[in-house]
Amino acid sequence: MIAHRTIELIAPSGYPHDPAVVHRALGRLQAQGHRVTGVHATERRYQRFAGTDGERAAELNHLADPSKPLPDIVLSVRGGYGAVRILHGLDYEGLQRRLTDKPVAFVGHSDFTAIQMALLARAGLKSFGGPMLMSDFGADELSDFTMKHFWEALTSPTFTLTSRAPQAQSANVSGVLWGGNLAVMASLVGTPYMPPVEDGILFLEDVNEQPFRVERMIYQLQLAGILERQQAIILGDFSGSKVYDYDNGYDLRAVIDQVRSVVGIPVITGLPFGHVEDMVTLPVGADAHLEADAHGFRLTVTGHLHLS
């Protein structure tokens, strides 16, 4: 049975374009007995963003205020674009003082990756790559798979994800689990908001990117020296990636083969994470152990803050 939680909504990126989806998502959460706050975040509009840069930064910074009660879950409304515009305006010292060792789960993916990387790099705060209000809780059909993995990740001190997807490379490594949206990760290279993770297990996903764009962004991480410092890469879903006649057989499989030839570490595939209906939830900044072979892979995660 799912415990009743306080879920605070934040919208650091785009605004929700369909009020009906917002209503459906809120109704589902409330029907489960959760208390949802910050609903005004779904109503703000400024150009293509869910409010001005100042409004969106303040929404996160108020979590550093010791006079305000803390929620159990801080849930991103949606992705899009805009999080990078507020990174310089976040109160990292205040957030670190207030939230270190507190069981508050920041959850989201896509453009929310920028917030997650910045919180990890500047405040040492862990978060969760997982579902968002609009795309997941507000989906036409709520995914039992997504919900099961979401609550398991948020409430279990240790859990294991398994896949039967055959792997072309074997792995038996341990390290910090981190990552998210590839385009956002690439955009943070060379900034103070990219965590300096050593010996990590890096997971990546993206949406609507042609194979050559995926390869170019992975090369950016490689040429910046980030990939050579990791133990392994786990590739999630790259939904919406299209191959054209000009590509002449150059598809995502060819990209993965090329990446494997240059990075020097195992590249594991088949992680159900990204802009997909059925997705797992991954603690960002947790400790993980990855085993992979021709029969699939196992990813065991521990060391993340979890809800009691």
What topology does CATH give the domain 158-302? Glucose Oxidase; domain 1 (3.50.30)
pLDDT in tens, 94-123: 999 999 999 999 999 999 999 999 999 999
Q: Would you place residue 160 in the very low, low, confident or very high pLDDT band (cuts 50, 70, 90)?
A: very high
pLDDT in tens, 215-263: 999 999 999 999 999 999 999 999 999 999 999 999 999 999 999 999 9
Instruction: Give the model's pLDDT for residue 308.
Output: 85
**Nearest CA among 16, 104, 108, 98 for reference residue 61:** 98
Average confidence (pLDDT) over 189-209: 98
pLDDT in tens, 69-88: 999 999 999 999 999 999 99
For the cut 70, the answer to whether the pLDDT of residue 1 exceeds it is: no
**Nearest CA among 170, 179, 185, 181 for reference residue 267:** 170
Residue range(s) in the chain whose domain bears CATH number 3.40.50.10740 = 6-142
Show which residues are catalytic.
110, 205, 275
Q: Would you place residue 149 in the very low, low, confident or very high pLDDT band (cuts 50, 70, 90)?
A: very high
Return the percentage of the chain with pLDDT > 90, whole number: 98
Phi, psi of 67 (to 5 degrees): -85, -10
CB 126 within 8 A of CB 205: no
Partners of 165 in the β-ladder: none
Instruction: Give the model's pLDDT for residue 142.
Output: 96
Give the separation between CA 43 and CA 49, rounded to whole angstroms.
11
Sheet holding 105-108, edge to edge: 35-37, 6-10, 73-76, 105-108, 127-129, 282-284
CB 41 within 8 A of CB 8: no
Residue range(s) in the chain whose domain bears CATH number 3.50.30.60 = 158-302
Mean pLDDT of the chain: 97
Instruction: Give the model's pLDDT for residue 3.
Output: 86
Q: Would you place residue 150 in the very low, low, confident or very high pLDDT band (cuts 50, 70, 90)?
A: very high
Angle between helices 252-263 and 211-223 (to 10 degrees): 10
Instruction: Give the model's pLDDT for residue 2.
Output: 73
The CATH homologous superfamily for domain 6-142 is Murein tetrapeptidase LD-carboxypeptidase, N-terminal domain (3.40.50.10740)
Partners of 175 in the β-ladder: 288
